[in-house]
Structure 1
């Protein structure tokens, strides 16, 4: 909220960034086995509050110390006796800061979850063994004192590649164009996705345990399946733009509680390799088999898709 001060406009917020927390939950089955569940989160907190005196009168009496915010993350993680999603933890923290401190009217909590995955040994899931995966699960909850909520989930670093069923033709050609047209190329990208849920209040979030974790996994699966197509035949991609749109459309068509989605999909190039010399005209002749992988420079493609009623 902006404040008028002596002819100036002040907008302010403060918080704590990069608070790293690991949480383990343990459950026992009827056989006495104890299975462990692990999350590692990086938490960023930003508070919008009525603390104007700290800026203009050297009066810090309304400031929530950022060290207090850090400690709160660990206390609240300890209080969570049941396993929960990054989204649920972000909402929990947002509710705490906006209800516990009268001067705080909005809390913005962003969480990035490190992708620890349970390992299997001899075909059996290990009870307490984990390995680090690739793509990261992200979440952001903007919680107001009134209970109004904006909730966003996402994926960072979802690396996808297919070795065929991709082309690029019919683009503008001018004196600067050297790229040949093709109906056969490698298609590789690293997807960054974020989607906004239609829930508009804290009380409207489904009460099913780990519902938002399940939704995250389902969205990731739909994105990948749309990119690749059926296992035997695949699906042709006329451009990264076309594939991006189909992926975004598939998510909104499948999940009615998602109101909008944004996708960033760099075109990571695998360049055909042809090698020759003056003495040997064909050391290596490209035949859709030998490539030079490179990610600099790369094409940058991004777009968002939303329903007409979305407040994206």
Structure 2
């Protein structure tokens, strides 16, 4: 919230960034372990202007206190829970415990630790690092109003056929040939806004958002690839992006909007020849030069009409 000070507009917030916490839970018999690793960023909007203009720190929540609060709240969570649920718990604490704090913005990045299997059996306490990250931002107001966004970062997808690019603008600067046969590769960043508008309205299952995250991830991948036999043709990255976003909103009624960023990571056909050898390598949809510099950059968002995104 902006204030007028000495003829200027003044806005401020403060917080603690990159608080790393690991949490392990054990089953009742102690044998099966569950774990998460989170990196937490906290930003508080509060009435502490006096610290800036009068050297009065009496309304400041120390950032070291914020760090300690992350560990205390992780300890208090006696059962496994989602990153979304943990972000909301922190936001509720800061806005209710401190009278001067009116909004808490909590971002949680979950490192992709996955349970390993040995001889086809899930290991009781063994984990390996996956690829794409689960990212959450919860904006919690003192009134209980909530804005909750979840994201997937680094979801790498590739198919070796059923992709093309034709009919685009051609002018004197255009060298790209049209094609109905190419590889399609991307690294998806997907974020979606939930329709829950208050802390009290979220589902009471502490792992609900974990399940929703995995389900959204699966819908995105399934739409990109199409059926196992035959797949689905992609006329452009733009077309595939739209179908992926549409599939998410069609499947999940508690998601109000979705935004996708899909760089077009190129696999360029390789043809090599020399004066002595006309075909050192003759391209036949088989040998490529992978490169992501430069790459195409495609992004779009899709929202329901009533969404506030």
1:19 — aligned with what?
A: 19
Counterpart secondary structure, 1:82: coil
Match of 1:215 among 184, 192, 212: 212
The answer as to 2:247 corresponding to 1:250 is yes
Name the CA distance, whole Å, in 1 between partners of 2:158 and 2:71: 39
Bigger CA drift: 209-218 or 246-255?
209-218
| Other-structure match for 2:287 | 290
| 3-state SS of paired residue (1:194) | strand
More divergent stretch after superposition (202-211 vs 243-252) = 202-211
Q: Greater CA deviation, 218-227 or 207-216?
A: 207-216
Counterpart of 2:171? 174
Task: State the alpha-carbon separation in 1 of the partners of residues 282 and 2 from structure 2.
Answer: 64
| 4+ aligned runs moved over 2 Å, structure 1 | none
In structure 2, relative to structure 1, the CA distance for the partners of 1:59 and 1:209 (3 Å cut) is closer
1:302 aligns with 2:275: no
State the SS of the aligned residue for 1:20: strand
What is the DSSP-based 3-state SS (H/G/I as helix, E as strand, rest coil) of the residue aligned with 2:282?
Answer: coil
Deviation at 1:34, TM superposition (A): 1.1
User: How far apart are the structure 1 equivalents of 2:70 and 2:294?
Assistant: 39
> Residue 33 of structure 1: CA displacement?
6.1
Q: 2:274 aligns with which of 273, 277, 283?
A: 277
TM-score by length of 1: 0.98
Q: For 2:170, what is the secondary structure of its paired residue?
A: coil
Q: What is the CA distance between 1:209 and its match in structure 2?
A: 3.3
Partner of 1:98: 95
The match for 1:186 among 161, 183, 187 is: 183
C-alpha change, 1:268 and 1:4, in structure 2 (3 Å) is same
The 3 A distance-change label for structure 1 pair 52 and 209 is closer
Task: Pick the aligned partner of 1:75 from 72, 77, 85.
Answer: 72
CA distance in structure 2 between the partners assigned to 1:305 and 1:108 by the alignment? 24
Structure 2 stretches lacking a partner, 5+ long: none
**Pairing partner for 1:58 from 55, 60, 68:** 55
Counterpart contact for 2:85–2:206, Cα < 8 Å: no
The Cα of 1:158 is off from its aligned counterpart by 0.2
CA distance in 1, matches of 2:183, 2:22: 39
1:157-199 Cα deviation digits (max 9, x unpaired):
0000000000000000011100000000000000001000000
Show the counterpart of 2:124. 127
Q: Report the Cα offset of residue 278 of structure 1.
A: 1.0
TM-score when normalising by structure 2 = 0.99
Verify: 1:5 aligned to 2:5, yes or no.
yes
Out of 133, 138, 144, which is 1:136 matched to? Answer: 133
**C-alpha separation in 1, matches of 2:280 and 2:185:** 26
Structure 1 residue ranges without an equivalent (≥5): none
CA distance in 2, matches of 1:110, 1:227: 28
Q: Could you tell me how far apart the structure 2 residues matched to 1:147 and 1:170 are?
A: 51
| Superposition map of 1:102-117 within 5 A | 102-117=99-114
Matched, 1:38 2:35: yes
Provide the rounded CA distance (Å) in 2 between the counterparts of 1:296 and 1:258. 34
Distance 1:136 1:209 in 2: 19
Q: Which residue of 1 aligns with 2:234?
A: 237
